Amino acid sequence: MKRILVKYYKKGDAAYLSHRETMRAMERALRRSGADLVYTSGFHPRVKVSFAPALPLGVSAEAEYLEVAVEREPDLADMTRRMNEALPEGLRVVSLQVLPDYMPKLSRWARYGLYRVEGAGGSFHLCLRIDGEGGGRLRDALQKLEDRFGAGVDAVTRVGIYASRDEILEEYPDKVYFYHTENGELEIMEESGAG
Amino acid sequence: METGNDVELVRSFFKRDIAQVSKPGRYLGIEVNARRRPLTARGCNCVLVYPDVYEIGMSHLGLAILYEEINEREDCMADRAYLPWVDMQELMQRKGIPLFGLESRVPLNRFDVVGITLQHELTLANVLRILSLAGIPLRAADRGSRDPLVVGGGPGAYNPEPVAEFFDLLVLGEGEEVVHELLDAVREWKDMEKGDRPGFLRRCASIPGVYVPSLYRVHYRPDGTISGIEPLEGAPMPVRKRVVSDLDRVTRPRRPLVPLVESVHDRCSLEIFRGCTRGCRFCQAGMVYRPVRERSEDVLYAWGREMISATGCDELSLSSLSSADYSRIISLAERLSRDLERERVAVSLPSLRTDSFSVELASKVGRIRKTGLTLAPEAASPRLRSVINKEVTDEDLLEAVSAAYREGWRKMKLYFMVGLPGEEEEDVEAICSLVRRIMREGDSGRPPRGLRLSVSVSTFVPKPHTPFQWVGQLSLPETARRHFILKEGLRIRGVTWKWHTREMSYLEGILARGDRRLGPVVEAAAREGCLDNWSEFFSWERWRRAMEERGLDPTWYVERERGEEEVFPWDHLSAGVDRSFLWEEYQKAQRGEATEDCRYGDCLGCGVCDGKEVSGRLAGGGS
């Protein structure tokens, strides 16, 4: 059994598909991908697939992830092409990667979401935890940003999902706001060393 | 196509407001396999409408076929629309957004044809709601050269009289061929700047299967019955339904749309045959879809595989009115399930006969999934079964349940009706004792442990073009009394029972055999609400008041037994089966006499086959 990491984007009208609807569309595309998928057992077998934490409705994403189990390594270019033919407009596979066995599962590393927030006050980067109990309070974070800058938000895009804050700072050395889901504080992110 | 102000309105609505509504996925129109064609300048632009919400409309095969037929043409296009959910309706009205085609986002009133399918009586108010959301004049008589042609179809077209004045025309029967004749006519009319609408409608009326309501005048007697239906200006009398003689030769949806939002039937539907000659006397589908025409096994096999690979669906349903009757069912089902098993696609048989053959077949092909099994004995007493011509015995049912139990099903659903003609109290009690017997002894004398039965009871509604079109429907208090018998008698461990809302069946009864005088009633009821088939929105009071205000008596429409000679509101519309045959069947019902299936026995002379184009066709080669 091999695991494949699927990186995809969700743009335009597809941003209005719920997490569940997106999962359905991706699963259908996987079934049409030609890959030899691993299915769950039981009366209602399903594709063995796991998704990154849900994206709120209306938020676009440039780099979302899902992980799918296959019996043997497929032709990745062919699989990409077939999946893209089977996806609704706005959902597209960006890349596929066969994961080495030592790589942790998606659910283990998908911790932080990085968002680009565009509004009258300009464009910001906002980071918050998306896993576990306190994850996914994007709406609260946006409200906090609006309050702080007194400007409305026009568009929000999740630009990536990361395992640690340091990874984000490496890629985005400029100012990134970090929203603490535990206490609702907004601060400028600095290298923590802790991740 | 010019881009008008309202097109811009819709566009900005999507940018600013769409995230506010529940499940916006229903309104996006970006489904896999959506054709998303722009409107044409000179061809016929159609929008196909299912007058209920997306989740229901997306599963409908008839519109999928027409979508394919029209979009296969270079010169014409078809978009789709459904009734928006209530929150979306409110938002659209508040923002002044007209109902639009999902794929093009062009308002409905800019199309040449708005085609609406009539599948159920309780969606008639939805039809008017759709027209008003679209800003299309409700009455056909009020529409001008810039307004679309509102066209109806589906089984409801066999008595569309309660909504007849809202349609420019309706099509009776199967649409695969007549749709092209209509598209060509509209194209021609469009070339002439759509002048002289009445003249155009007269020309349409000469196309076989096309019914133009404005070309028929209905005369009433003082007692409310009809004295005559008068065709005007040479309109055909009666209008005869269209039948496709060879289903292998017509278009099939090879790349069906994949719903973005979970729908009621999330599966690919492989229509294995049309028609049913079992002859159940209550069943309108069994009468109006005659004769039986099977598709050939190889066509079906290839079509099934094609649809699965074009959609990624995980279920292929072999659909028809009685799937186990297909001549080559075992071979077809086994080939498909064997070949699709590798892709974890389940093959299912949705409409099963109540016998062990069907259950074992379902089990064999449905190796993968055992969710629920539905059996429909309809009536519990042998006497009543002979009235409805449903030749199934208690033993058949017990064997079917036991077979299902053996094969691993633990949840089963049984369908019964109350209020069938001639039903007595003991017939209702027979439902309870039959269910008790299943739970106590199965067919081996031992209780089937862990079996959960869900008993679903609907109220019989007499339908036009059936042998029971003459009978009176049960009154509301009497239905309640029979439900009470069931409520008491079905208190059995492992059994739950559900019944149809009595007033919904009553309204269904009014509209099913309604006449044109109900037009303003539907209009008034639709102004105040819609979605009558959703119990949270249904309001009997709304309808009762609308009838009262117009001096119409619901009991007259619903409970009255009609005489042999009564002129029905649908007498100018023919589903092919002769009225005399239906009457004879009604008489036989009262005598408890059976009528054989013409598939196995002699021709019954029901009138549908013409000996030339229209006749039964079996995949095994016989007819």
What confidence tens digit (pLDDT) does each residue in B72-101 have? Answer: 999 999 999 999 999 999 999 999 999 999
Put simply, whether B590 touches A (Cβ < 8 Å) is: no
CA distance B300 to chain A (A): 21
Q: Spell out which residues of chain B touch residue A43, defining contact as CB-CB under 8 Å.
A: 368-371
Query: What pLDDT sits at residue A195?
Result: 43
For residues B104 and B200, membership in a common domain is answered with: yes
- Other CB atoms closer than 10 Å to residue B233's CB: what's the count? 12
Q: Which ranges in A13-95 belong to alpha helices (H)?
A: 19-31, 76-85
CB contact under 8 A, A17 and B260: yes
Structure tokens at B532: 């009558």
Q: Is B107 among the domain residues?
A: yes
Q: Is B448 among the domain residues?
A: no
Closest CB from A20, A43, A88 relative to B369 = A43
Put simply, whether B426 touches A (Cβ < 8 Å) is: no
CA distance A114 to chain B (A): 21
What confidence tens digit (pLDDT) does each residue in B141-200 have? Answer: 999 999 999 999 999 999 999 999 999 999 999 999 999 999 999 999 999 999 999 999
CB contact under 8 A, B30 and A89: yes
User: What spatial distance separates the first Cα and last Cα of chain B, rounded to whole Å?
Assistant: 49
CB contact under 8 A, A21 and B370: no
| Residues constituting chain B | 623
What confidence tens digit (pLDDT) does each residue in B551-590 have? Answer: 999 999 999 999 999 999 999 999 999 999 999 999 999 9
Query: What pLDDT sits at residue B610?
Result: 86
Establish, for the pair of chains A and B, how many residue pairs have beta carbons separated by less than 8 Å. 63
Outline where DSSP puts E strands in B252-388: 268-271, 273-274, 293-294, 315-319, 346-348, 373-378
Q: Is B531 among the domain residues?
A: no
CA distance A78 to chain B (A): 16
- Report the alpha-carbon distance of residue B15 to residue B466 in Å, rounded: 50
- Report the alpha-carbon distance of residue B275 to residue B266 in Å, rounded: 24
CB contact under 8 A, A21 and B262: yes
CB B107 within 8 A of CB B6: yes
Closest CB from A16, A27, A30 relative to B18 = A16
Q: Whole domain around residue B617: which residue ranges?
A: 267-367+593-623
Of B240, B257, B289, the domain-final residue: B240
- With bands split at pLDDT 50, 70 and 90, how would you rate the model's confidence at B1? very low
Instruction: Count structural domains, chain B.
Output: 2
Q: Is B160 among the domain residues?
A: yes
For residues B137 and B31, membership in a common domain is answered with: yes
Put simply, whether B28 touches A (Cβ < 8 Å) is: yes
Nearest CA in chain B to A91: B30
- Report the alpha-carbon distance of residue B614 to residue B623 in Å, rounded: 11
What confidence tens digit (pLDDT) does each residue in B57-71 have? Answer: 999 999 999 999 999
CB contact under 8 A, A29 and B19: no
For residues B206 and B301, membership in a common domain is answered with: no
For residues B209 and B278, membership in a common domain is answered with: no
Query: What pLDDT sits at residue B612?
Result: 81
Q: Is B317 among the domain residues?
A: yes
CB B159 within 8 A of CB B514: yes
For residues B281 and B133, membership in a common domain is answered with: no
Structure tokens at B586: 């009604």
CA distance A64 to chain B (A): 19
CB contact under 8 A, B313 and A28: yes
Domain map of chain A by residue range? Answer: 2-108, 111-188
CB B302 within 8 A of CB B332: no
How big is the CA angle at B538 (ends B533 and B539), to the nearest 5 degrees? 150
- Report the alpha-carbon distance of residue B492 to residue B453 in Å, rounded: 10
Determine which of B23, B102, B260, B407 to mutate to test the interface with A (most A C-beta atoms within 10 Å).
B260
Structure tokens at B553: 């008596």
CA distance A165 to chain B (A): 30
- With bands split at pLDDT 50, 70 and 90, how would you rate the model's confidence at B358? confident
Q: What percentage of chain B has pLDDT greater than the value 90?
A: 82
Maximum pairwise Cα distance, chain B: 76
Structure tokens at B342: 């590798």
Q: Please say if the pLDDT value at position B406 is more than 90.
A: no
Kindly provide the b/e burial profile for residues B19-40, where b requires at least 16 CB atoms within 10 angstroms of the residue's own CB.
eebebbbbbbbbbbbbbeeebb
Q: Output the CATH code of domain A2-108.
A: 3.30.70.580
Query: What pLDDT sits at residue B303?
Result: 97
Q: Is B549 among the domain residues?
A: no
- Positions in chain A short of pLDDT 50: 194-195
Which residue, among B312, B303, B268, has the nearest Cα to A83 in the 3D structure? B312
Query: What pLDDT sits at residue B22?
Result: 96
For residues B340 and B224, membership in a common domain is answered with: no
Query: What pLDDT sits at residue B87?
Result: 97
- With bands split at pLDDT 50, 70 and 90, how would you rate the model's confidence at B369? low
Put simply, whether B87 touches A (Cβ < 8 Å) is: no
Determine which of B22, B314, B407, B410 to mutate to test the interface with A (most A C-beta atoms within 10 Å).
B314
Nearest CA in chain A to B34: A88
CA atoms within 13 A on the CB side of B414: 30
For residues B48 and B132, membership in a common domain is answered with: yes
CB B201 within 8 A of CB B213: no
Determine which of A11, A33, A37, A44 to mutate to test the interface with B (most B C-beta atoms within 10 Å).
A44
Chain A residues within 8 A (CB-CB) of chain B? 13-14, 16-18, 20-21, 24-25, 27-32, 39, 43-45, 57-58, 86-90
Q: Spell out which residues of chain B touch residue A87, defining contact as CB-CB under 8 Å.
A: 32
CB contact under 8 A, B313 and A86: no
What confidence tens digit (pLDDT) does each residue in B244-264 have? Answer: 999 999 989 999 999 999 988
What confidence tens digit (pLDDT) does each residue in B439-497 have? Answer: 987 767 778 888 999 999 999 999 999 999 999 999 999 999 999 999 999 999 999 99
For residues B231 and B169, membership in a common domain is answered with: yes
How big is the CA angle at B452 (ends B446 and B458), to the nearest 5 degrees? 115
CB contact under 8 A, B312 and A32: yes
- Report the alpha-carbon distance of residue A158 to residue A125 in Å, rounded: 10
Q: Is B494 among the domain residues?
A: no
The ipTM estimated for the assembled molecules is 0.91
What confidence tens digit (pLDDT) does each residue in B127-142 have? Answer: 999 999 999 999 999 9
What confidence tens digit (pLDDT) does each residue in B459-470 have? Answer: 999 999 999 999
- CATH (domain of B14): 3.40.50.280
Q: Is B276 among the domain residues?
A: yes
Maximum pairwise Cα distance, chain A: 54
Q: How many helices (H) and strands (E) does chain A have?
A: 5, 9
Q: Spell out which residues of chain A touch residue B26, defining contact as CB-CB under 8 Å.
A: none
- Other CB atoms closer than 10 Å to residue B325's CB: what's the count? 21
Of the two residues B622 and B356, the one the predictor is more confident about is B356
CA distance A181 to chain B (A): 24
What confidence tens digit (pLDDT) does each residue in B594-621 have? Answer: 999 988 888 999 999 988 888 888 887 5
- CATH (domain of B294): 3.30.750.210
